[in-house]
Amino acid sequence: MAAPIESEAQVGRDIVGAVLKACSLLEHFDAARPVWTLNQLTSASGMNKTTVHRLMTTLIHAGWVDRTAEGSYRIAMPVFEIGSAALVNLDIRTAARPFMVDLAETFGDTAYLMVPAEEGAVCIDRLEGNNPLVVAGINIGSVMPYHAAAGPIVMLAFSDMLRSRWIERGLPSFTEHTLTDAAALGEHLDSVRAAGYSVSNSDYLQGVAAVAAPILGRDGSVIASISIGGRVEAFTGTALEKKIEQVCDAAARLTRVAEALPQ
């Protein structure tokens, strides 16, 4: 027998707002910023100081947060224990799936997860959005050249090893927009690495554009790319800016996950 589907109203009644607020405060703590003062958390969260103080005091009482000698807040051991338990059976494909769902649902484009391999970028997951364009030719298991399309290019830009190997090869053309000149490709890779993301436009498939960002491992090496692709008309102006922002945010969050995965 199927489980009953809860209505939005029922879900709303079941949600405890204070818990959501407490969780949002915990999300501010990461490896780059492990300690926060009350004033810093108040400013970053947008909540009032009294609310932040009460929530953090509750988290301290629960054992999830500690106070430093200076009175600042830091994450306590139970959070690390729960995080470690979650990472035991987690891989990058599993971790990336919710982000791919979010990207596909938000923009209607097709979301991709690719990993580097000797002969090219391998697509290990794909999720179609609701836009009418179906990107044919890029499926799970497809091996793509590194010098075309946003996902492969961003991995090439962030990997000196791949770059030294790939640019020495002859670079075939797939459309009139494919970069086949080694010098021009090198300049493009430099700009992609500086920007932190790649945007492609009809360089692999005519009429298809994409945005990709790299997922980096603990040692800074590129382990994957996350991207969205669709009609070139949908990758311009403000729409493109929003896609870049969300793809980069997903990649940054997945990088933090990848840095914590067991080696």
In tens, the pLDDT along 95-151 reads: 899 999 999 999 999 999 999 887 889 898 899 888 756 666 788 888 889 999 999
Residue ending a domain, choose from 87, 107, 122: 87
Is 12 inside a domain boundary?
yes
Question: Looking at the structure, do residues 121 and 67 belong to the same domain, yes or no?
Answer: no
Question: Looking at the structure, do residues 47 and 65 belong to the same domain, yes or no?
Answer: yes
Number of structural domains found in the chain: 2
Report the C-alpha gap between 177 and 89 in whole angstroms. Answer: 42
Is 59 inside a domain boundary?
yes
Task: Examine the pLDDT at 84 and tell me if it is beyond 60.
Answer: no
Identify the burial level of 66 via C-beta atoms within 10 angstroms of its C-beta, where 0-12 means exposed, 13-18 middle and 19 or more buried: middle
Question: Looking at the structure, do residues 204 and 118 belong to the same domain, yes or no?
Answer: yes
Residue ending a domain, choose from 87, 107, 135: 87
Does pTM surpass 0.75? no
**What is the per-residue pLDDT for 13?**
59
Residue ending a domain, choose from 41, 62, 87: 87
As a whole number, the mean pLDDT across the chain is 84
What's 213's DSSP letter? E
Q: Torsion over CA of 74, 77, 82 and 83, rounded to 10 degrees? A: 60
Question: Looking at the structure, do residues 35 and 96 belong to the same domain, yes or no?
Answer: no
Task: Examine the pLDDT at 36 and tell me if it is beyond 80.
Answer: yes
Helix then strand count (H, E) for the chain reads 10, 9
Question: Looking at the structure, do residues 103 and 221 belong to the same domain, yes or no?
Answer: yes
Tokens (6 digits) for 134: 């179906």
Out of 58-62, 77-81, 99-103, 256-260, give the one with best mean pLDDT: 99-103
Question: Looking at the structure, do residues 129 and 110 belong to the same domain, yes or no?
Answer: yes
Handedness of CA 47, 49, 55, 59 (dihedral sign): positive
**Amino acid residing at 209:** A
149 Ramachandran zone, left/alpha/beta (phi>0; psi -120 to 50): left
Categorize the per-residue pLDDT at 6 as very low, low, confident or very high, splitting at 50, 70 and 90.
very low
Which domain does 185 fall in, by range? 92-260
**What is the per-residue pLDDT for 203?**
92
Instruction: Look up the CATH number of the domain holding residue 65.
Output: 1.10.10.10
